[in-house]
Amino acid sequence: MSETAVSRGLDVLVVGGGSAALCAAIAARRSGASVRLVEQAPASLRGGNTRHARNFRLMHDRPAWYVPDNYGEDAFFKDLLRVTHGATDEQLARVLIRGSATIATWLDGNGVRLQDPASGVMPYSKRTAFFLGGGKAMINALYATAAKLGVTIDYDSEVVALAFGEDRDCEADILHDDRIDRITPKTLVLCSGGHQANIDWLRESFGDAADNFMIRGTPYVTGSVLRLLLDAGVKPVGNPSRAHMVVVDARGPKFDGGIVTRITAIPHGIVVDHDGRRFHDEGEDARKTHFARWGARIAACPGQIAYLILDAKGFGRALPTALPPIRADTVASLASAVGLNPAALETTIMDFNAATGDDDNVPAIERCTKGLVPPKSRAALPLVVPPFAAYPLRPGVTFTHFGVAVDDRMRVMKNDGSPARNVFAAGMIMAANVLSNGYLAGLGVTLSAVFGRLAGEEAARRAQPGERGDGD
């Protein structure tokens, strides 16, 4: 490794390459600061998990061309309380929600284009707006804007050391091409995400089961910056043993499968473990987000593997998938194809079919099993029409509910309760302050954009000469 080079005179260093980092960099640059952004991923994989996003949640008191109806502050906050079971920082949550009211216009002013819901391409949603071209188009637009504004952007650049203090500039050692570049910015904005792509770290909380988890987003969110902050005495928030998981196709990639590997057809069939036995009510949750509950259930299965079994009618009711199912003309041959015991699966389906009844006066969606444990409480239709189909299932980790504490100016908080006045954080590295459990559709991008913008503005203000020696 070559000798360390030192770069001085920078106002704001932004660490990360997703929507939080980009919004921070753009906001800081528009505030007059000199800005450098370092992204650990190569240019071809830049953008973090936002590359796989499609919408973001926003408060609005009246319809806009990009979102119908209204979704007020109280409704937004009530939804957040519901999914977190009340474990959210209300002050920060209110900052997030109110900031979401203007973030669509701000993003539009920075090149991001939104989908017109009148086109009918995307599903109706009064809570979220959709990106035209998806998350990758958003990322490309923000990178183009950042470059046009004069933000210096470095790829393949990993932060390997950090130092900061009250009466000094920050230091960050950046590894690039086997060379260390020591940058000494006035302020830092850290937007490098959590640690969900670090299997060794996940194993500390989840044991050997972590080896079988699929990581839905970028493989570059390893938690290295998060670890540096914790080692430097920054206050942790959340629980590293809690993660947002959904059910995904086990045949997808270990990392970066994104939204397309998600399996949504569970209500149309039955789910069995590696012994060919059902273990939960497939009809318990009829909402579109039912798949978010099944990730944790499969994580608790032996080997973290399960199988969705459908007959031809069930498959016909399911949404299309990125990978085709495994098909066979008989249950026994389907079992052999996926590595299950044929007799065990045949018995499970025979018992299930016998419990579904034959009351044609009951609508199909309301049919439930009788005398079966576990029951199927909705859409309990027999599996009798060949060909039969199977999807192997794994838990897919979206993010962990763990990060660093921040105040309402996005300054990271130290263990002694004081803020680090020249170090800011935004995005999923601090999301657990408001999202300690569960998830809301589109909230990740909203959280990243709103808090990224705020962190960038605050970092630029702090970097100004007149602000360097102030108190709060």
Summarize pLDDT for 73-129 with one digit per residue, the tens.
999 999 999 999 999 999 999 999 999 999 999 999 999 999 999 887 888 899 999
Beta strand residue intervals within 295-384, DSSP E = 306-310, 326-328
DSSP single-letter state for residue 459: H
pLDDT of residue 6 exceeding 70, the answer is no
CA gap 89, 391 in Å, rounded: 39
Output the pLDDT for position 364.
80
CA gap 8, 190 in Å, rounded: 19
Task: At 90, list the tokens.
Answer: 């209300």
Q: Under CATH, to which class is 5-198+218-235+405-467 assigned?
A: alpha beta
Every domain of the chain with CATH number 3.90.700.10 lies at 244-395
pLDDT of residue 321 exceeding 80, the answer is yes
Predicted confidence (pLDDT) per residue in 416-451, tens digit: 999 999 999 999 999 999 999 999 999 999 999 999
Output the pLDDT for position 237.
98
| For range 364-391, the mean pLDDT | 94
Q: Confidence band (pLDDT; 50, 70, 90) for 3? A: low
Output the pLDDT for position 343.
98
Q: Confidence band (pLDDT; 50, 70, 90) for 472? A: low
CA gap 274, 373 in Å, rounded: 18
User: Quick check: helix, strand or coil at residue 30?
Assistant: helix
pLDDT of residue 468 exceeding 70, the answer is no
Nearest to 428 by CA among 389, 396, 398: 398
Output the pLDDT for position 2.
54
Q: How, if at all, do strands 179-184 and 5-8 pair?
A: parallel
Ramachandran area for residue 62 (φ above 0: left; ψ -120 to 50: alpha; else beta): beta
In terms of DSSP H, where are the helices of 131-239? Answer: 134-149, 199-206, 224-231
Output the pLDDT for position 99.
98
CB neighbours of 452 closer than 8 A, spacing ≥ 6? 19, 20, 21, 22, 23, 24, 27, 189, 191, 426, 427
CA gap 268, 136 in Å, rounded: 31
Predicted confidence (pLDDT) per residue in 137-152, tens digit: 999 999 999 999 999 9
DSSP single-letter state for residue 57: E
| For range 225-243, the mean pLDDT | 96
Output the pLDDT for position 467.
66
CA gap 159, 337 in Å, rounded: 46
Sign of CA dihedral 222, 408, 412, 34: positive
pLDDT of residue 166 exceeding 90, the answer is no
CA gap 447, 454 in Å, rounded: 11
CA gap 69, 209 in Å, rounded: 44
pLDDT of residue 26 exceeding 60, the answer is yes
Q: Under CATH, to which class is 244-395 assigned?
A: alpha beta
Output the pLDDT for position 134.
94
% of the chain surpassing 90 pLDDT: 89
| pTM of the predicted model as reported, rounded to 2 decimal places | 0.94
Output the pLDDT for position 119.
86
> Buried b vs exposed e over 76-97: b needs ≥16 C-beta within 10 Å?
bbebbeebbeebbbeebbbbbb
Q: Confidence band (pLDDT; 50, 70, 90) for 168? A: confident
Every domain of the chain with CATH number 3.50.50.60 lies at 5-198+218-235+405-467
Ramachandran area for residue 222 (φ above 0: left; ψ -120 to 50: alpha; else beta): alpha
